[in-house]
Amino acid sequence: MSRVWLVIGGMAVATYLTRAPMFLALARRPLPPRVRLWLRLVPLAVLPALAVPLVLVRDGRLALGLANPALWGAAVVFVLAARGVNLLASVAVAVAVVALLRALG
C-alpha cells in the first residue's frame, strides 16, 4: 500500500513540475515583445497545423477530391463558424453532412 502512495505522490510532483516552472518564471517577468507575440501566435499556428491535415491528408496522400467527405464537413463547419453560428451546432451540422456523404458513398 505504501508503494502505491509513493507512486501517487511521485506522480503529483511530476505533474506539478510540468506546470509550475514556466508559469512562475514567465508570469512575473517582463517578456520581450517578440516573445509575447510568439506565445500569442503559437495557438494560432498549432490549431490549423492540427486540424487541416486531418481533413486534407488521408493515408499519407493528399485528398483534395470532392469525394472526400471530410472536406465537405470542413467546408460546412468553416462557413457556419465564420457566420457566427454556435460552434457545437456547426460541428453537429458538419458531422451530419459527413455521415450522410459516407452513407451515400
Partner 1 sequence: MIAAGAPPLAIILTTYVVNMRHYLMAATLAPSFRGFRRRWLALIAHVIKTSRSPSPWRARGRPTRGSTSAARPPSRAPSSGVAVGTALGGLVERPERYGLDFAFPRCSGARGRAAAPANDWLVAIGAAVLAVALALVLPGNWHIVVAGLTVSALGALLLPLDDTTEPTGTRR
- 1 forms part of the interface with partner 1 (CB under 8 A): no
Name the DSSP class of 61: E
Determine phi and psi for 62, rounding to 5 degrees.
-65, 135
Rounded (10°) angle between helices 87-104 and 69-82: 160
Single out the residue of 1, 34, 103, 105 in contact with partner 1 (rule: CB under 8 A): 34
Q: Does 17 bind partner 1 (CB under 8 A)?
A: yes
The contact set with partner 1 (CB under 8 A) reads 3-4, 6-7, 10-11, 13-28, 30-31, 33-57, 60-62, 73-74, 77-78, 81-84, 87, 90-91, 94
